[in-house]
Amino acid sequence: MRIKGLFLASAAIVALPIGAATAADLPAKMPVKAAPVAPPPFNWTGFYVGANAGVIWSRSSATQVDTSGIIFPNDSTTGTGFIGGVQAGYNWQFSNFVLGVEGDIDFASVNKSVALPPLFLAGTHNSKLSALGTVRGRIGLAVDRFLPYVTGGVAFANLKNEYISIFPFTVDRGSSATGWTVGGGVEYAFDMHWSAKAEYLYVKFPDKTVAVGAATPYIFNFSDAESILRAGINYRF
């Protein structure tokens, strides 16, 4: 029995290095890679500021609405110019719907002067738009980073629409006007903070009636409307 025990102990000692060598020959276990994390869906909620630039078409008319023995011309002018400025706003996203409010102030370079022929009552019709601001609501449908929207609200302008007669007398609607605006556009977020947009706005100011003279006044109706096509860029906080 003693001889048998010594034999078994010797066999175990010899087997130890063999087992260790066999374990060392086994390939190392490869590390398990973590599953890629999907980026969070884009969200339009937040405050933003930006700048815009584009083209404006301005239409102004001065129409006599009460003929008082003298023929006055019914005149309208259309001017085209540059418009550009800054905007700021805030968006709230609910599911795929985006609600927002935006305000902007732009400077414009629309200036038109037309000399009226002596066949009528000779004179000059002047129209000028130097500044335009809006406060609008926006409603959009987000498709990830793509946001088509409609917009509408209040518009303010520093404008001139006047008729200068050779008699002489001058009649105008005043230097400022408040009206309404509607439009639509698309915005695309090309970065987590930056987005670009293109939009169209139609702006209409209420017609204004002005009377000139005391005994037999001449009455004029002034009408002004603007069409704006512009592009912009926003930084989202």
Distance, CA of 139 to CA of 128 (rounded, Å): 32
Span 215-227, average pLDDT: 85
Q: Using the predicted structure, report yes or no on whether residue 143 has a pLDDT greater than 90.
A: yes
pLDDT at 8: 46
pLDDT at 232: 98
Distance, CA of 29 to CA of 197 (rounded, Å): 52
pLDDT at 106: 98
pLDDT at 220: 83
Q: Using the predicted structure, report yes or no on whether residue 147 has a pLDDT greater than 90.
A: yes
Residue 18 — very low, low, confident or very high, per pLDDT cuts 50/70/90?
Answer: very low
pLDDT at 218: 75
Handedness of CA 34, 39, 41, 45 (dihedral sign): positive
Distance, CA of 171 to CA of 235 (rounded, Å): 44
**Per-residue pLDDT reduced to its tens digit, 112-124:** 887 776 655 567 8
30-44, 91-105, 153-167, 169-183: which range is least confident on average?
A: 30-44
pLDDT at 21: 45
Percent of the chain residues topping a pLDDT of 70: 76
How far out from the chain centre does Cα 65 lie? 38
Domains of the chain: 46-236 (2.40.160.20)
Q: Using the predicted structure, report yes or no on whether residue 9 has a pLDDT greater than 70.
A: no
**Per-residue pLDDT reduced to its tens digit, 91-113:** 999 999 999 999 999 999 998 88
Three-state SS for 32? coil
Decide: 154 and 180 in contact? Cβ < 8 Å.
Answer: yes
Beta bridge partners of 195: 189, 234
pLDDT at 15: 46
Residue 13 — very low, low, confident or very high, per pLDDT cuts 50/70/90?
Answer: very low
Looking at per-residue pLDDT, the higher value among 20 and 209 belongs to: 209
Q: Using the predicted structure, report yes or no on whether residue 28 has a pLDDT greater than 60.
A: no
Token pair for 61 = 């008319």
- Give exposure, 129-138, as e/b (b: 16+ Cβ within 10 Å): beebebebeb
User: What is the per-residue DSSP string for 77-123?
Assistant: EEEEEEEEEEEEEEEEEETTEEEEEEEEEEEEEEEEEEEEPTTSS-E
At 23, give phi and psi (nearest 5°): -65, -35
pTM for the model stands at 0.79
Residue 217 — very low, low, confident or very high, per pLDDT cuts 50/70/90?
Answer: confident
Pairing of strands 194-212, 218-236: antiparallel
Residue 148 — very low, low, confident or very high, per pLDDT cuts 50/70/90?
Answer: very high
143: DSSP letter: B
Residue 130 — very low, low, confident or very high, per pLDDT cuts 50/70/90?
Answer: very high
- Cα-based distances in Å from 40 to 1, 145, 189: 74, 12, 14
pLDDT at 65: 73
